[in-house]
Amino acid sequence: MSSSSGGGDPTATGVLVLAGTPIGHVPDAPTRLAAELAGADVVAAEDTRRLRRLTAELGVEITGRVVSYFEGNEQARTPMLVESLEAGQRVVLVTDAGMPSVSDPGYRLVAAAVEAGVRVTAVPGPSAVLTALAVSGLPVDRFCFEGFLPRKAGERARRLADLADEQRTVVFFEAPHRTEAALSAMAEAFGADRAAAVCRELTKTHEEVRRGGLADLAAWAADGVRGEVTLVVGGAEARPALATDPDSLRAAVAALEEDGMRRKEAIAQVAVRAGLPKRDVYQVVHIG
């Protein structure tokens, strides 16, 4: 059974509550969070130990059942939680920090609950995406969120090549030990001087926001980065559509290669600018 409104009859089924948790300071917790945790029939937590620390600081006693719900078990646990919802129980989902399902466990459960006709609601809370965007100093009128980049260099380069002409501000999550590699790859794909901000340990004691060009930020990150990292990158300037005749396509790829870009990424970027499939540009460059 599906529901376009995202919920069924609340008297017949339970409620799934996505509860935002602090990304740093516990006092940033939403006012409703304590009440939802205390009144839940089931609390599904990404890390039950962190949940215990949070409830201790909030002065909350959980009387319902506590279960773990993380990347490694969410596929198996989702049907069980849906059964609880269908039985009329109130299930509160929390992750380690921020809003569930935003690069954290939750999407699979939300989709299953919606499909079952269960009401889904949220306790809005802190978000690293919006916090980083707000303090970055970059345009915020239009933006997109790309989550974590692929770990493998080749896959990461292809993803960034696809984003090279994105005109909206782009927000990424990144692991601290991969931050320098990510910024270097962005400098190659987007240009060394593209404006960006590295937001580290947001709202925590050692919060730091570094702003500058991508190449300069990559050089800074080479000394090592610690803590939770969110990257905000300014959008590309609007460029006129590229001519699609073979000579123009070959010239555009050659120009990007002269600037230091690998041919594969150059072809991908030119294909986006020209509005053509990558294979067409590849054939022009390699076959003629």
Q: Which amino acid is at 197?
A: A
Q: What is the per-residue pLDDT for 194?
A: 96
Residue with token string 């949940």 = 51
Q: What is the per-residue pLDDT for 109?
A: 97
Q: Is 16 helix (H, G, I), strand (E, B) or coil?
A: strand
Which CATH number does 129-233 carry? 3.30.950.10
Q: How far apart are the C-alpha atoms of 7 and 221, rounded to whole Å? A: 45
Q: How far apart are the C-alpha atoms of 212 and 46, rounded to whole Å? A: 35
Burial class (CB in 10 A: 0-12, 13-18, 19+), 27: exposed
Q: Is 122 helix (H, G, I), strand (E, B) or coil?
A: strand
Which CATH class, in words, describes the domain spanning 15-126?
Answer: alpha beta
Distances (CA, A) of 139 to 144, 148, 188, 233: 11, 21, 22, 10
DSSP 180-207: HHHHHHHHHHH-TT-EEEEEESTTSTT-
Residue with token string 């090279």 = 164
Beta bridge partners of 122: 18
Q: Is 101 helix (H, G, I), strand (E, B) or coil?
A: coil
Rg (CA), the chain: 23
Q: Is 161 helix (H, G, I), strand (E, B) or coil?
A: helix
Q: How far apart are the C-alpha atoms of 100 and 110, rounded to whole Å? A: 10
User: What residue spans define the domains of the chain?
Assistant: 15-126, 129-233, 246-286
Q: For 103, what's the count of Cα atoms within 13 Å in the CB-facing half-sphere?
A: 16
Weakly modelled stretches of the chain, pLDDT under 70: 1-12, 288
Instruction: Check: CB of residue 92 under 8 Å from CB of residue 37.
Output: yes
Q: What is the per-residue pLDDT for 192?
A: 94
Q: What is the per-residue pLDDT for 9?
A: 45
Q: How far apart are the C-alpha atoms of 153 and 159, rounded to whole Å? A: 10
Q: How far apart are the C-alpha atoms of 205 and 226, rounded to whole Å? A: 13
Tell me how many degrees the CA angle 106-110-115 measures, rounded to the nearest 5. Answer: 150
